[in-house]
Amino acid sequence: MNKTDTGSGREHVLDDGSTREIGRGYLRDAHDRSFAMYRYPPSPGCRQWLRVFWIPVWNVPPGEVREQRILTYPVCLLSITASYARLLGPRTTAARMPLSGAGWAFGVMLRPSAGRPLLQADIGSLTDKHADLAGVRLLADLVPAVRGIMETDPTSAGAHAAGRQLLEERLPALGNPSGEAALADALVGRVEEDPRITTVAALRAAFDLHERTLQRICTRFLGVSPRWMIRQRRLQEAGAQLRSGGSLSELAAGLGYADQAHFSRDFRAATGWTPGAFAALARDSR
């Protein structure tokens, strides 16, 4: 994993396939050198709306297809490519993206509070679906500009910076997150950062929320249930821990599962791999 200063004071991370890591949510075979991922943090003034920019660029040998799998976060994503431009809702199973030929995508992971004002509807209506950016008033006219910037050289740090600037200039129109929107951000942050949150009851207690209030916020801003959000965080953590080996039963217990079998079923349903197969992939990538 290589880090480079882009000249804007923001460092980007390039995962060019040589890294030994398999990311917390990004389930990638590190032996695959046909694919590179550039990641950039948002500017300080835009961090209340954005989590990260991600720009994959690939060149798959003729006649081959490479599948990427991602354990998604309870957030919306923007994705602009040469052929489509979408606001993607949260996925309740691992996103599987078959790649062939040469291509690129300009992607943005939003904060939980940002998706609803962009969509102008509850995010629950977008779960496992997408909306064309042509129908998202704030961003529709950005698509041709971003494509024009990216198509000349999709690996160019200058192109990436220009695309980021175009998007970030629009975001103040969303307003600062407040009320339930800010609470949605806080809920997701707590689930991701606090390993003690392994049940919905623990999450409710941490924020002193009634069950109906928690469900309403999740439907409006996250598009997934509180239980799904907690389980997804545990599975992402499992992916990280499986890299280093260790006992599956101890891992399952540490993540709050009653038994190893339950953990294995959840992991396979979400990722398409058994924990053992995923651990073997991680070992082979070292």
| Residues 87 and 190 reside in one and the same domain | no
What's the structural domain count of the chain? 2
Run of H or E including 227: helix 226-242
| Residues 145 and 263 reside in one and the same domain | no
Q: Which two tokens mark 203?
A: 């999450």
| Residues 25 and 142 reside in one and the same domain | yes
Instruction: With a cut of 90, say whether residue 28 has pLDDT above it.
Output: no
Q: Are 109 and 54 in contact (CB under 8 A)?
A: yes
Q: Are 136 and 118 in contact (CB under 8 A)?
A: yes
CB neighbours of residue 140 within 10 Å: 13
Which residues constitute the domain of residue 228?
Answer: 179-284
| Residues 102 and 230 reside in one and the same domain | no
Residues 50-82: pLDDT tens digits? 999 999 999 888 888 777 777 777 889 999 999
| Residues 263 and 238 reside in one and the same domain | yes
Residues 106-120: pLDDT tens digits? 999 999 999 999 999
Residue that is last in its domain, among 174, 206, 224: 174
Residues 178-212: pLDDT tens digits? 999 999 999 999 998 998 898 999 999 999 999 99
Mean pLDDT for all residues in the chain: 85
| Residues 168 and 183 reside in one and the same domain | no
| Residues 139 and 273 reside in one and the same domain | no
Task: Report DSSP state, residue 207.
Answer: H
Q: Are 102 and 60 in contact (CB under 8 A)?
A: yes
| Residues 161 and 201 reside in one and the same domain | no
Q: How far apart are CA 149 and CA 147, in angstroms?
A: 5
**So what's the pLDDT on residue 98?**
79
Residue that is last in its domain, among 109, 140, 174: 174
Q: What is this structure's pTM? A: 0.82
- CA atoms in the 13 A half-sphere facing the CB of 29: 12
Lowest mean pLDDT among 13-17, 46-50, 233-237: 13-17
Q: Tell me, what amino acid is at 204?
A: R
Q: Are strands 11-15 and 2-5 parallel, antiparallel or unpaired?
A: antiparallel
| Residues 148 and 184 reside in one and the same domain | no
**So what's the pLDDT on residue 254?**
83
139 Cβ partners below 8 Å, 6+ apart?
78, 87, 118, 133, 167, 170
| Residues 60 and 146 reside in one and the same domain | yes
Residue that is last in its domain, among 149, 174, 199: 174
Run of H or E including 212: helix 211-217
Q: Which two tokens mark 145?
A: 């500009």
pLDDT band of residue 18 (cuts 50, 70, 90) is: very low
| 242 or 78, greater pLDDT | 78
| Residues 218 and 142 reside in one and the same domain | no
| Residues 169 and 262 reside in one and the same domain | no
CATH number at residue 201: 1.10.10.60
